[in-house]
Amino acid sequence: NAGVTQTPKFQVLKTGQSMTLQCAQDMNHEYMSWYRQDPGMGLRLIHYSVGAGITDQGEVPNGYNVSRSTTEDFPLRLLSAAPSQTSVYFCASSYSGTGIGYGYTFGSGTRLTVV
C-alpha cells in the first residue's frame, strides 16, 4: 500500500524550462489536489480534481497546468519555470474530499528550485 507517491523528490530547473511533477495514488481516491508551500504562507491550493477528466483552479493556478486522465494519476506541469515557483509541492488525495470522512493523504513532496 504505497499511498500517494510523488516524483521527483528534488529538482533544479533553469528559468524558462518546463517540467512535470508526477503524482500517483493507489487508494482509488476521486479527490486529488496540488499545493505549494512557501515559508510563512501555509499550503496554497494550485489545482484540484474531483475525478478523472475533471479539474479546476485553486488559489494560485497561474503558471501551472493539470490533467486527470486516470483516477490514479494527477500530474502538475510547469509551462515555463520562474524563480517565483521555487517551492515545495505537495500532492494530496482523499476518498471523501471535504465531506465527512478521513481527510487527505499527502505525498512526501517535491522540492523545486528554479534558478
Burial profile 16-45: b = 16 or more Cβ within 10 angstroms, e = fewer: eeebebbbbbeeebbbbbbbbeeeeeeeeb
Q: Which of the stretches 17-25, 28-36, 63-71, 75-83 binds another protein when contact is defined by CB under 8 A?
A: 28-36
Q: Which of the stretches 11-19, 21-29, 56-64, 73-81 binds another protein when contact is defined by CB under 8 A?
A: 56-64
Which residues inside 60-89 make contact with another protein, applying CB under 8 A? Answer: none
With residues binned 3-state (H G I as helix, E B as strand, rest as coil), the percentages for the chain, rounded to 5, are 5, 50, 45
Footprint of another protein on this chain (CB under 8 A)? 31, 33, 35, 40-45, 48, 50, 56, 58-59, 90, 92, 97-109
